[in-house]
Amino acid sequence: MSEIFSIAGENGFCPRGSIYPNPKEASLLLSLGSLVDAYFPPCKRTRVSAPTAFSVFEQDPVSIDVLPDECLFEVFRRLPGAQERSVCASVSKRWLNLLSGIRPDELDDISKKAKDASMEDCEDDVDCDGYLSRSLEGKKASDVRLAAIAVGTAGCGGLGKLSICGNNSACRVSDLGLRAIGRGCPSLRVLSLWDLSTISDTGLLEIAKGCSQLEKLDLSRCPTITDKALIAIAKSCLGLSELTIESCSRIGNASLQAVARFCPKLKSVCIKNCPLVRDQGIASLLSKSTCSLMKLKLQMLNITDVSLAVVGHYGLSITDLLISGLPTVSEKGFWVMGNGVGLQKLNSLSITSCPGVTDMGLEAVGKGCPNLKKLLLSKCPLLSDNGLVSFAKASLSVESLQLEECHRVTHLGFFGSLLNCGAKLRAFSLVNCFGIRDLTTCLPPSSPCNTIRSLSIRNCPGFGDANLSALGQLCPQIENLELCGLNGITDSGFLQLLHSTQLSLVKVNLAGCSNLTDKVVSVISAQSGWTLEALNLEGCTKITDATLVSIAGSCQILSDLDVSNCSITDFGVQALASSNQLTLQILSLAGCPLVTDKSVPALRKLGRTLLGLNVQQCRSISSATIDLLIEHLWRCDILY
């Protein structure tokens, strides 16, 4: 550098010698520094003062920036190490852009050795894989930041994970930013691009060229990316194991065919709302003999029964399957999938918004998936009691069964599946099933389901006391009980459930059960005081201070209590604080207008163990009191 840009000395301007042979004339050179000299010819009278001469030369300083990009590129690639390149990148955007465009294989040998040494000594904050992780969102996502990341992370193990979430109205990420990542981050393994309409195939092609170690790719709402880019990724990144494509309108079957052909390590695929993906793409993805696909999600696609038939026949390694929003798939598709005998390893199945799910199809799935442990059925309008009971009889390995918005399923199907379930069922959940009604007849004699530990009934308005009494006979070993938004249950039914089973409850959620009173909580506290860890009574308007008194006297290990929108006063809070055995970590008093500033001493005492306190909409607690609590309960997160 000094040899190139030095213009001082006798060889600076006149390589053939001095233009003034007289030494006296040569002494008229005025030195302006170690690098620049200014010459004034002899004259009888000085007409220009020295300061004026200096200002003339200061207007046109000699700088390395006068060099073209090609020369600067040669200089930068010979810098000794990553730290020097990072320093140079901070000089200007021009230098940053030039440095971010240098590929690792274009570095000089000296720079490569320095890079290897810096990687050994790096002490930066890295993730579990030994690579740096960066996330950009909204206005923070820009080409300049990506270029800086590409240059700055090169010396410390390299960038391993990059997430970019743009806002299409103010996004400043383009193909130039991805170009910098592709050229400067060869160790990139995880790439997520969300809401980026400003990038195209050009940017992803740079990623394909420079990031051959890519293992996980997530493209969501990138409308300008086409099959061309994804095919290039598949050909270059042979270790690709996870692929997610969501709302990419120009990606279709060709991409899936390329991924199936060139990526033998593929383990997980999620395809959602891609109109160009059809049966041919799904078939090619699964029909390869080397396919090791374990997780598959098909959502909002224009596929037919053919795709489900291929899944049922070739999905030999699939353990997790999610099917959602497939309006053109009929009963035949689910029947063939179940009878394809290929889903022998299927462990978890979720089906949502598929009108083709019928009783016959669900029964076939139960028979064809002998290792199925978890089933979620949501918004299946044609599924009825017969299908649910048939599935329970056919699938003896199910451990968790969840139904959401299946309105043709009634209380008969619910209890029928409990009576016919296998010996492994541990959790059952009903959510927004309006077909559930209260029992009018007694259940036939049967052996209890001793394996069930968790039961959740939410927002099923027809569920009442008779059902609770029957559950006490069928499920005597419940530990986690969730009954939310059930106005049809009262103290009578709940007490029958408790007395008939002698439950030792661990977690209880009774939110929105407005007809339950303090008597229920008193029995729960007495019966499960040594096991109860969490209790949610939000919206139980008949719950008063008596509940808090019973909790303070009986619950030994309770850590999470929610009495929001209950009839709680200062007396109840003081009762909680007076307990010497209670160690609450989470307490919610939101929407309790009778809790006032008088509760401050009690809350401060409870604050010795509290990690979270919710006093939102407690209108009788002043802002000054809130400030005092924030000051003293410094370990506790306070919502107000």
Same domain (yes/no): 423, 550: no
At 313 the pLDDT is: 93
Q: Are 477 and 502 in contact (CB under 8 A)?
A: no
* Partners of residue 529 on adjacent β-strands: none
User: Given phi > 0 = left and psi -120 to 50 = alpha, else beta, which region is 253?
Assistant: alpha
CATH of the domain at 420: 3.80.10.10
**Residue type at 472 in one-letter notation:** G
Structure tokens at 136: 């950009």
pLDDT higher at 261 or 79: 261
How far apart CA 154 and CA 520 sit, in angstroms, is 63
Q: Are 252 and 246 in contact (CB under 8 A)?
A: no
Q: Which residue has the tokens 């300049």?
A: 144
Would you call 35 helix, strand, or coil by DSSP? Answer: coil
Residue 30 has pLDDT above 50, yes or no: no
Q: What is the pLDDT of residues 553-602, one digit of tens each?
A: 999 999 999 999 999 999 999 999 999 889 999 999 999 999 999 999 99
Same domain (yes/no): 525, 465: no
Q: Are 251 and 271 in contact (CB under 8 A)?
A: no
At 61 the pLDDT is: 58
At 290 the pLDDT is: 53
Residue 44 has pLDDT above 80, yes or no: no
Q: Which residues, at least 6 apart from 160, have a Cβ–Cβ distance to it below 8 Å? A: 126, 127, 129, 130, 131, 132, 133, 187, 188, 189, 190
Query: Helical H runs in 197-241?
Result: 201-210, 227-236
CA dihedral for 21, 22, 27, 29, sign (positive or negative)? negative
How far apart CA 450 and CA 455 sit, in angstroms, is 12
Least confident of 107-121, 261-275, 350-364, 588-602: 107-121
**Residue type at 301 in one-letter notation:** L
Structure tokens at 357: 């799910």
CA dihedral for 151, 156, 158, 161, sign (positive or negative)? negative
What is the 3 state secondary structure string of 137-188? EHHHCEHHHHHHHHHHCCCCCCEEEEEEECCCCCCECCHHHHHHHHHHCCCC
User: Which secondary structure element, helix H or strand E, spans residue 271, and what is its range?
Assistant: strand 268-272
Same domain (yes/no): 571, 443: no
At 7 the pLDDT is: 41
Residue 283 has pLDDT above 90, yes or no: yes
Nearest to 403 by CA among 427, 437, 369: 427
Q: Are 159 and 125 in contact (CB under 8 A)?
A: no
End-of-domain residue from the set 448, 464, 498: 498
Mean pLDDT in residue range 27-47: 41
Nearest to 263 by CA among 317, 202, 215: 215
Is residue 632 one of the residues assigned to a domain? yes
Other beta carbons within 10 angstroms of residue 583's beta carbon come to 14
Mean pLDDT in residue range 454-480: 93
Same domain (yes/no): 536, 465: no
Whole-number average pLDDT of the chain: 85
Is residue 492 one of the residues assigned to a domain? yes
Same domain (yes/no): 401, 547: no
CA distances from 271 to 60, 92, 150, 551, 592 (A): 59, 42, 30, 49, 46
Mean pLDDT in residue range 425-447: 90
Distance, CA of 638 to chain centre: 25
Q: What is the pLDDT of residues 251-282, one digit of tens each?
A: 999 999 999 999 999 999 999 999 999 999 99
Same domain (yes/no): 508, 553: yes
> What percent of the chain is predicted at pLDDT more than 70?
82
Cα–Cα–Cα angle for 448, 454, 459, rounded to 5 degrees: 110
pLDDT-derived band at 64, boundaries 50, 70, 90: confident
**Residue type at 152 in one-letter notation:** G
The whole-model pTM stands at: 0.81
At 52 the pLDDT is: 45
Is residue 307 one of the residues assigned to a domain? no
Q: Are 579 and 553 in contact (CB under 8 A)?
A: yes
Residue 118 has pLDDT above 60, yes or no: no
Q: Give 367's Cβ-side CA count (13 Å radius).
A: 16
Distance, CA of 20 to chain centre: 76
**Residue type at 128 in one-letter notation:** C
Same domain (yes/no): 518, 445: no
Residue 55 has pLDDT above 50, yes or no: no
How far apart CA 225 and CA 204 sit, in angstroms, is 8
Is residue 546 one of the residues assigned to a domain? yes
Mean pLDDT in residue range 57-86: 68
Q: Are 632 and 608 in contact (CB under 8 A)?
A: no
Packing angle, helices 143-152 and 82-89, rounded to 10: 160
Packing angle, helices 359-368 and 331-339, rounded to 10: 20
Nearest to 603 by CA among 508, 520, 518, 618: 618
At 62 the pLDDT is: 55
Distance, CA of 514 to chain centre: 35
Cα–Cα–Cα angle for 255, 257, 262, rounded to 5 degrees: 95
End-of-domain residue from the set 498, 518, 542: 498
Packing angle, helices 93-100 and 69-76, rounded to 10: 60
pLDDT higher at 543 or 149: 543
Is residue 314 one of the residues assigned to a domain? no
Is residue 178 one of the residues assigned to a domain? no
At 170 the pLDDT is: 64
CA distances from 532 to 238, 494, 527, 536, 584 (A): 51, 17, 9, 11, 12
Q: Give 600's Cβ-side CA count (13 Å radius).
A: 15
Would you call 354 helix, strand, or coil by DSSP? Answer: coil
End-of-domain residue from the set 498, 531, 556: 498
CA dihedral 369, 371, 377, 381 (to 10 degrees): 20
Structure tokens at 548: 């808090």
Could you list the residue range(s) of the whole structural domain that residue 524 is in? Answer: 504-640
Nearest to 391 by CA among 406, 412, 369: 369
Residue 409 has pLDDT above 80, yes or no: yes
At 29 the pLDDT is: 37
Residue 535 has pLDDT above 60, yes or no: yes
Mean pLDDT in residue range 398-417: 95
Domain count within the chain: 3
Same domain (yes/no): 573, 640: yes
Q: What is the pLDDT of residues 141-176, one digit of tens each?
A: 888 888 888 887 776 668 999 999 987 666 788 999
Same domain (yes/no): 366, 475: yes
How far apart CA 426 and CA 455 sit, in angstroms, is 9
At 32 the pLDDT is: 37
Same domain (yes/no): 522, 629: yes
At 570 the pLDDT is: 96
Q: Which residues, at least 6 apart from 419, have a Cβ–Cβ distance to it below 8 Å? A: 443, 444, 446, 474
Is residue 193 one of the residues assigned to a domain? no
Residue 209 has pLDDT above 70, yes or no: yes
Same domain (yes/no): 514, 444: no
> Beta 30-31 vs 37-38: how paired, if at all?
antiparallel
Mean pLDDT in residue range 522-548: 96
Is residue 99 one of the residues assigned to a domain? no
> What percent of the chain is predicted at pLDDT more than 90?
66
pLDDT-derived band at 538, boundaries 50, 70, 90: very high
DSSP 115: H
Question: Exposed, middle or buried, 365 (CB in 10 Å: 0-12/13-18/19+)?
Answer: buried
Same domain (yes/no): 385, 348: yes
Residue 412 has pLDDT above 80, yes or no: yes
